A and B are shown apart, each in its own frame.
Chain A
Amino acid sequence: MIIFVVHVSRYAFMSQRILLSAKEIDIILHRLACQLQENHLDFKDTVLIGIQPRGIFLAERLDKILRESYKVKDVKLGSLDITFYRDDFRRGEKTLQANTTKIDFLVEDKKVVFIDDVLYTGRSIRAALTAIQSFGRPQEIELLTLIDRRFSRHLPIQPNYRGRQVDAINNERVTVLWKENDGEDAVYIVEKV
């Protein structure tokens, strides 16, 4: 279903431009991994949490780079679904459908890093901040995001690590594609029709 939507938006409507290519994404991911390691060293007290549904791909990539390129042995990676914590329940036409939450380690007293592909209004992260409390009281929480859409925040939330800052206007959508899910690594800016 997601692939279909992406397909339509990429080929049926003309107004889209590429923001990041596969090569650029790769370089950025390595930089983000370096920055994470600089702050967290051996990741002993750190857990990475991918925000469902689209943050998990980025989280898995970073996890892989940290293990393979930077020889970090013990990276703890989980996924957090925020559906039941969102503030727009009953406010749209569609029923909000949940995704899997998988956190099989303790977050109590840990340094948590939220990982999501695009930071836009900040509402998802607000929901994630509430949701993570059901699993314990983290020592601190940081936010890593591949794309930071500047000037479009509804809440006072900023990332600690950002891949690329974008000034996309409101009728544009930033689409992050991942090879393992969408067939290619790329970031597009698509004009909504």
Chain B
Amino acid sequence: MSTLSVDHLLGIKYLNKKDIDLIFETADHFKEVINRSIKKVPTLRDITIANIFFENSTRTKLSFELAEKRLSADVINFSASQSSVKKGETLIDTVNNILSMKVDMVVMRHPNPGAGIFLSKHVNASIVNAGDGAHEHPTQALLDSYSIRERLGDVGGKNVVIVGDILHSRVALSNIFALKLQKANVKVCGPKTLLPKYIESLGVEVETDLKKALEWCDVANMLRVQNERLDVSYFPTTREYTQQFGLNKKLLQALDKDIVVMHPGPINRGVEVTSDVADSGQSIILEQVENGVAIRMAVIYLLASKIK
């Protein structure tokens, strides 16, 4: 069936394999579109999209906005820092006020897990989750898998290790759901303090030795150390983290194969990955960014086609 099984993109958890295949297929076509000399199609000219960001974001917001504009949708932006949220307005009131200006779709980032799900039950618009606290960041996981598929041909059967702060990372959780759905093998690697206790229940293995994890994997997804979320000390020093879980050229060259290196950005150069790794041919970090626009165009296109 050539349509999504959902009316909102709240998390990878709510998708099935066919949805992911459909999104990837559609993204292939949009990737061709954004590489033309005229990178725009008129498809969504009667759709208005509100980007509501209650949390800071640069690249996700840019990527969504560009995707919407490439589809010819009308776009309005709203950030919490300059809004009446500070004056005490509730989330539903804020969104309903925006929707009364005839908005069809809402792209929302919010610090609270489940904010998108809550909203989808109470307002009349298609919701795209652009990150909700430590819960999910579905478009990031989709573009990560899409980039793996582009580089390695397929995601199924590949060994993927996610390295870093798994505990606070919505990127990690969405990636685990997406990779498992596509039958990839997943390990997580990081300091014990940053690995959730029951993470194995999601069907992933835990590895605390980065070297062993790298020897096993085809793809290493290096997560950012999110200093802003680390309210207490989870590891002694950044320097010690880098020594144990940072990826450098020496580690890569010690392997008997070329693994693919990914990073959701923004990179702390010299912390999660060294510059020579980030800028090497094995890194697909910039491809991830390019694919982000195509994936978001696909998601918005497919959801918009269900708006009646």
Contacts and interface: CB of A to CB of B under 8 A. Distances in A.
Contact of A133 (B32, B38, B301, B308): B38
B36 A134 contact: yes
B239 interface: no
Contacts of A86: 43
Nearest to A93: B3
B32 to A, nearest CB: 6
Given A130-B42, A136-B37, A94 B2 contact: yes
B26 interface: yes
A69 interface: no
A158 interface: no
A96 B305 contact: yes
Interface residues of B, number: 26
Nearest to B41: A84
A41 interface: no
B102 interface: no
A90 B36 contact: no
Contacts of A136: 37
B306 interface: yes
Interface string B164-180: 00000000000000000
A77 B4 CA distance: 33
Nearest to B36: A134
A13 interface: no
B37 A135 contact: yes
A95 interface: yes
A97 interface: yes
Contacts of B2: 94-95, 97
B26 A98 contact: yes
A100 B41 CA distance: 15
Contact of B302 (A95, A133, A135): A95
A89 B25 CA distance: 18
A101 interface: yes
A86 B25 CA distance: 19
Contacts of B26: 97-98
A109 to B, nearest CB: 14
A90 B41 contact: no
B249 interface: no
A90 B29 contact: no
A123 to B, nearest CB: 14
A151 interface: no
Interface in B14-62: 25-26, 28-29, 32-33, 36-38, 40-44, 46
A89 B29 contact: no
Contacts of B42: 84-85, 130
B305 A81 contact: no
A133 B42 CA distance: 12
A127 to B, nearest CB: 9
Given A85-B41, A100-B29, A95 B36 contact: no
A81 B29 CA distance: 9
A4 B2 CA distance: 16
B29 A95 contact: no
Nearest to A130: B42
Contact of A98 (B29, B46, B71): B29
Interface of A: 81, 83-86, 89-90, 94-101, 130, 133-136
8 contacts: A84-B41, A84-B43, A89-B44, A89-B304, A95-B2, A96-B305, A133-B38, A134-B38
Interface of B: 2-4, 25-26, 28-29, 32-33, 36-38, 40-44, 46, 71, 301-302, 304-308
